[in-house]
Amino acid sequence: MRHNQPKPQAGNLVLGIHPVSELLKSDKEIEKILINKDLMNRQEGMDIVFACRKREIPYQPVPVEKLNRVTQKMHQGVIAFVSPITYQKVEDILPFLFEDGMVPFFLVLDRITDVRNFGAIARTADCAGVHAIIIPEKGGAQINEDAMKTSAGALNHIPICRERDLGRTLNYLNDSGLTIVACTEKGAESIFETSFTGPLALVMGSEEDGISEFLLRKAHHIAQLPQVGKIGSLNVSVAAGIAMYEALRQRLAEKL
């Protein structure tokens, strides 16, 4: 079942050609930009697209009706969604973890789009000792006020890495010595039989589509959460919480 996305809050939006153009010149984090298709062939639109590509900011050409559904205010065909957090890069975090003698623990979220699920996962990740959450540049939950609120402030503390290519990121983590564990009902082994004690990247997928096949092929282990009930599925934030706390249990036990 597809969840309805909550409407974006006004404080997260920048509207209009000139304001968005100036925003793109700043160092503020931008989630994405919606631009009217009819503006794409005008110089103002081409300049905005060029700036998005230069800064690697996701943009989406859309009909004016979609822009009007986002806001009834004057938008001139352009709406920017400003992020309340600053994104980081995996390559900037991992080396420092090793240098500090820590055992890296990353959580990779593939196409989890519900902002409340994302916020709940971030809250648990912070409690379970996850060093960073990795999300895709496109196809992930928008980090807005609802996500921040559901995370109970965790998104102000845990690093979020927004990566263009999750496959390439997993390759980097693999090359850096991390074990990649994909948690899915397709798993042949239980999470309770899987070792989470070393450098780790735990991958969780969306409730609707699960983990992408090309990401599953990069996993060292494909593990499942044992289930004995009749429903046969768990909310992704609950499943992620169980998996993260099994990892924490094992990692704490190894230190004893």
CA–CA dist 242, 240 (Å, integer): 5
- With cut-offs at 50, 70 and 90, classify the pLDDT of residue 137: confident
Tell me what percent of the residues of the chain surpass a pLDDT of 70: 95
Q: Whole-model pTM?
A: 0.84
**pLDDT cut 90: percent of the chain above it:** 76
Q: Where are the domain boundaries for CATH 3.30.1330.30 in the chain?
A: 10-82
How many Cα atoms occupy the beta-carbon half-sphere of 254 within 13 Å? 12
What are the start and end residues of each CATH 3.40.1280.10 domain in the chain? 90-255
- 248-254 mean pLDDT: 95
Residue 7 confidence (pLDDT): 47
Segment 169-187 mean pLDDT: 95
Query: What is d(CA 29, CA 214) in angstroms, rounded to the nearest whole number?
Result: 29
pLDDT of residue 9 exceeding 60: no
Structure confidence by residue, pLDDT tens digits, 30-83: 989 999 999 999 999 999 999 999 998 989 999 999 999 999 999 999 999 998
Enter the CATH code of domain 10-82: 3.30.1330.30
Report pLDDT digits (tens) over 78-103: 999 998 888 999 999 999 999 999 99
Region 145-159 average pLDDT: 91
Q: What is the mean pLDDT of residues 128-149?
A: 91
Question: CA nearest 34: which of 13, 56, 10, 61?
Answer: 61
Residue 27 has pLDDT above 90, yes or no: no
Provide the β-strand partners of residue 121.
Answer: none
CATH of 90-255, one of 3.40.720.10, 1.25.10.10, 3.40.50.720, 3.40.1280.10: 3.40.1280.10
The mean pLDDT of 124-133, rounded to a whole number, is 97
* Alpha-carbon distances, residue 45 vs 41, 66, 68 (angstroms): 7, 17, 18
Q: How confident is the model at residue 188 (pLDDT cuts 50, 70, 90)?
A: confident
- Residue pLDDT, tens place only, 199-233: 999 999 988 888 999 999 999 999 999 888 777 67
**Is a pLDDT exceeding 80 seen at residue 4?**
no
